[in-house]
């Protein structure tokens, strides 16, 4: 990423430590991707695995997500990364098929134990997928990877980046409402479109409806009027172009992506990037 005068600490950027559906690690490495200049705080209302947040490592920021287990994990690492890592090392020692399913159904009270459970399941589960059943229980089967503690883990550094960050477990509208003049909002919602008839879109509609997309656009228009800058990614689809037509024109970014976890199923997909 090119250097710019936006507020970042004297710290190096790091890659995300979670595997996350829709993660934007690939985007950070693209030449089209440049964090626009801003003078205030950095706000990411759909932080997920935080690929952009951790690569940018802002000195002052707000991250937020609707997933409370994810957000608790960030809070635990911010508060006491050593306790989280010590317990993750225990999971590594005990890892097996039976242990995975035992951990998947276990409930812990203490924050650091819940965080290391979340990290363990994220690293040991099928394809790093996050999915819950109707009772709100994580229900992804075991995957093929058995490395739980990674050589390039640096939770001390993650914790340092999080020290100057406010961490919220809220709907996107709350995080965006904090944006004022000079701030930058990086927006990466679940992708849904107004009209398309394949299963993927239908599945995602339960998570993020077309009404949510309209609500998001309206929050962003308000934030822009308050003087914030916005960087937004979304699906390359006519309904999205139409939704944001008053705001600006997007750049289309094409990439090879893997469908259903197999490199045999490599297809070209496009996404839209707006910088306002």
**Residue position matching structure tokens 């299963």:** 199
Helix residue spans in 37-186 (DSSP H): 51-56, 68-94, 97-104, 111-124, 155-163, 172-177
Query: What single string gives the DSSP state of each residue in 41-68?
Result: -EEETT-TT-HHHHHH-BSSEEEE-S-H
Minimum Å gap between C-beta 46 and ligand SAM is 4
Q: How far apart are CA 210 and CA 140, in angstroms?
A: 26
Minimum Å gap between C-beta 96 and ligand SAM is 29
Q: How far apart are CA 34 and CA 31, in angstroms?
A: 7
Minimum Å gap between C-beta 134 and ligand SAM is 17
Q: How far apart are CA 75 and CA 220, in angstroms?
A: 26
Minimum Å gap between C-beta 148 and ligand SAM is 20
Candidates 21-29, 94-102, 115-123, 249-257; binding stretch for ligand SAM (CB under 6 A): 21-29
Secondary element (H or E) of residue 186: strand 184-187
Does 188 participate in binding ligand SAM (rule CB under 6 A)? yes
Which x/- pattern over 55-84 shows residues binding ligand SAM (rule: CB under 6 A)? ----------xxx-----------------
Does 51 participate in binding ligand SAM (rule CB under 6 A)? yes
Does 171 participate in binding ligand SAM (rule CB under 6 A)? yes
Candidates 35-43, 116-124, 207-215, 240-248; binding stretch for ligand SAM (CB under 6 A): 207-215
Number of residues that bind ligand SAM (CB under 6 A): 21
Encoded tokens for 70: 């994810």
Taking Cα atoms as reference points, which of 106, 105, 138 lies closest to residue 122?
138
Binding test (CB under 6 A) with ligand SAM, winner from 38, 42, 46, 274: 46
CA 143 vs. chain centroid, Å, equals: 21
The residue among 58 and 189 lying less far from ligand SAM, judged by its C-beta, is: 189
Does 271 participate in binding ligand SAM (rule CB under 6 A)? no
Candidates 41-49, 77-85, 116-124, 156-164; binding stretch for ligand SAM (CB under 6 A): 41-49
Does 49 participate in binding ligand SAM (rule CB under 6 A)? yes
Residues with Cβ < 8 Å from 217, sequence gap 6 or more? 243, 244, 247
**Residue position matching structure tokens 């991707």:** 33
Binding test (CB under 6 A) with ligand SAM, winner from 40, 48, 58, 61: 48
Residues near ligand SAM (CB under 6 A): 20, 22-24, 45-46, 48-51, 65-67, 171-172, 188-190, 207-208, 212
């Amino acid at each position: 990423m090119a250097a710019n005068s936006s507020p970042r600490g004297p710290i190096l950027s790091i890659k995300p430590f979670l595997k996350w559906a829709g993660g934007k690690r690939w985007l950070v490495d693209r030449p089209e991707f440049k964090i626009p200049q801003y003078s205030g705080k950095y706000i990411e209302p759909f932080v997920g695995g935080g690929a952009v947040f951790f690569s940018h490592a802002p000195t002052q920021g707000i991250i937020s997500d609707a997933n409370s287990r994810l957000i608790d994990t960030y809070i635990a690492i911010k508060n006491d990364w050593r306790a989280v890592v010590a317990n993750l090392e225990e999971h590594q020692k005990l890892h097996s098929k039976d242990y995975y399913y035992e951990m998947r159904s276990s409930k812990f009270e203490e924050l650091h134990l819940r965080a290391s459970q979340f990290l363990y399941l994220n690293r040991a589960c099928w394809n790093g997928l996050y999915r819950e059943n109707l009772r709100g229980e994580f229900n992804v089967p075991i995957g093929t990877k058995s490395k739980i503690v990674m050589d390039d883990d640096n939770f001390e550094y993650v914790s340092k980046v999080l020290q100057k960050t406010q961490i919220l477990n809220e709907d996107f509208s709350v995080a965006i409402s904090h944006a004022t003049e000079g701030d930058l909002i990086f927006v990466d919602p679940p992708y849904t479109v107004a009209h398309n008839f394949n299963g993927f879109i239908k599945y995602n509609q339960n998570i993020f409806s077309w009404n949510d997309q309209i609500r998001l656009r309206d929050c962003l228009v308000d934030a822009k009027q308050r003087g914030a800058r916005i960087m937004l990614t979304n699906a390359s689809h006519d309904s999205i172009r139409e939704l944001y037509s008053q705001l600006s024109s997007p750049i289309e970014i094409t990439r090879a992506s893997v469908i259903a976890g197999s490199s045999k199923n490599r297809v070209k997909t496009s996404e839209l990037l707006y910088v306002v």
